[in-house]
């Protein structure tokens, strides 16, 4: 049973964390990456052609910070807006609140972070403009920002994370109980001593 509960924990963690991360970061094909900001300069807009075959398009932002920043869920580090044919198809704040740092160089304090700005589900053939700007979190020292577009991106099943959390909890509890039961069975002191007198005892009655 311990092997079953261990597999349940591993599967739950995979569904809760690994699966959403993999879908967000690697599903689909990369359309392109554009440097939209360098320290000391201004944010540059990006105009690129997209085709209906690219749908859905996931919009990602890679940011390199000079020093380890402190992100807050309520603050906006960057804003991303996408438009085509005079209409806005995406306008989202980016907080990097759940983004995990990636080392760019062990000798430098710079940290790279990736967050998703959203997914454009319907794509028509034509030019799309993307504008990245700075949000209200002005205390974060940004060195550079890249805009990344991935076409044919899969979407995360909304049921996966809740089921993953439940499986992890059930598996962990079951694993703890199974381990405790195994320790009791291996410990002879956990069993009551056999009777020494009477029926089943090791000495005859007086």
Structural domain spans, the chain:
1-27+156-181, 29-151
The per-residue pLDDT string of the chain (206 residues; one tens digit each, 9 = 90 and over) reads 777 767 776 877 766 666 666 666 666 788 999 999 999 899 999 999 999 999 999 999 999 988 888 888 889 999 999 999 999 999 999 999 988 787 665 556 678 999 999 999 999 999 999 999 999 988 888 999 999 999 976 566 567 667 777 878 887 787 787 777 766 666 655 555 556 655 555 555 55
Q: What is the dihedral of CA 67, 68, 74, 79, to 10 degrees?
A: 50
In degrees, to the nearest 5, what angle opens at C-alpha 75 toward C-alphas 74 and 77? 145
Q: Which CATH class is domain 29-151?
A: mainly beta
**Which two tokens mark 165?**
């959390």
Judged on CB neighbours under 10 Å (0-12, 13-18, 19+), 71 is: middle
Q: pTM of the full predicted structure?
A: 0.66
Nearest to 134 by CA among 98, 101, 96, 103: 96
Of 11, 3, 1, 2, which is closest to residue 168 (Cα–Cα)? 11
């Amino acid at each position: 049973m311990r092997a079953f509960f261990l597999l349940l924990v591993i599967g739950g963690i995979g569904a809760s964390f690994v699966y959403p991360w993999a879908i967000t970061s690697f599903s689909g094909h990369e359309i392109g990456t554009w440097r939209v900001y360098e320290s000391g300069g201004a944010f540059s807009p990006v105009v690129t052609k997209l085709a209906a075959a690219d749908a859905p398009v996931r919009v990602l932002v890679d940011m390199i910070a000079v020093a380890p920043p402190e992100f807050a869920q309520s603050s906006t580090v960057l804003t991303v807006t996408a438009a085509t044919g005079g209409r806005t198809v995406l306008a989202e704040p980016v907080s990097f609140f759940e983004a995990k740092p990636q080392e760019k160089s062990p000798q430098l304090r710079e940290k790279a972070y990736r967050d998703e700005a959203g997914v454009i589900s319907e794509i028509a053939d034509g030019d799309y403009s993307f504008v990245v700007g700075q949000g209200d979190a002005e205390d974060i020292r940004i060195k550079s920002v890249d805009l990344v577009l991935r076409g044919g991106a899969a979407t995360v099943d909304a049921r996966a994370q809740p089921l993953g959390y439940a499986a992890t909890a059930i598996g962990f509890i079951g694993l703890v109980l199974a381990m405790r039961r195994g320790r009791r069975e291996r410990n002879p002191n956990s069993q009551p001593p056999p009777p020494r007198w009477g029926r089943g005892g090791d000495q005859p009655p007086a």
